[in-house]
Structures are given as C-alpha cells and as structure tokens.
Amino acid sequence: MDYYMRLTTFHSQFRAIGVNYNQVVKHLKTVFTEKTALALLYKLEKATKELVVTHKQIVDLTREFEEKYLTK
C-alpha cells in the first residue's frame, strides 16, 4: 500500500512538471531571443528525455512489483 501511495504522489509531481513545461516554453518564446530560446529548449528537451527514461523505469518497476506481490 505504501508503494502505491508514493507512486500516486510521484505521478502528481510528474503531471505538475508537464504543466510547468508548457509555461516555460511560452515564457522562453516571449522573453528570450530566438537563438537563446532554442538553446534553452535544447536543454529542456534533453531533460525531458531523461524524464521519459525515468518514467519507463517506474512502469517496469511497478509491473515487477505487481507480479511479485499481487499475483499470489
């Protein structure tokens, strides 16, 4: 049960990152020059790819957890 509570909390934080992501992209377009915005977007894209990898690991761990502890 503790695992699912923590997973729910993490998922909420993950969703908040998505909301912040949209806000950051809008802000980059309005505040910075195109060249600077593109450089920053590149860094943001790199961080996003890392989040995707982390998310996939979480899904795999959750499946493993369910197979070990919930199918008995």
Domain boundary assignment for the chain:
2-69
Torsion sign (Cα): 31, 36, 38, 42: negative
Average pLDDT along the chain, 72 residues, taken 10 residues at a time: 81 84 89 93 92 90 86 64
- pLDDT score at 34: 92
- pLDDT score at 39: 94
Structure tokens at 29: 């377009």
CA distances in angstroms from 4 to 7, 12, 37, 42, listed in the order given: 5, 12, 38, 34
CA 51 to chain centre: 4
- pLDDT score at 50: 92
- pLDDT score at 36: 94
CA distance 33 to 41: 12
> What is the model's pTM?
0.70
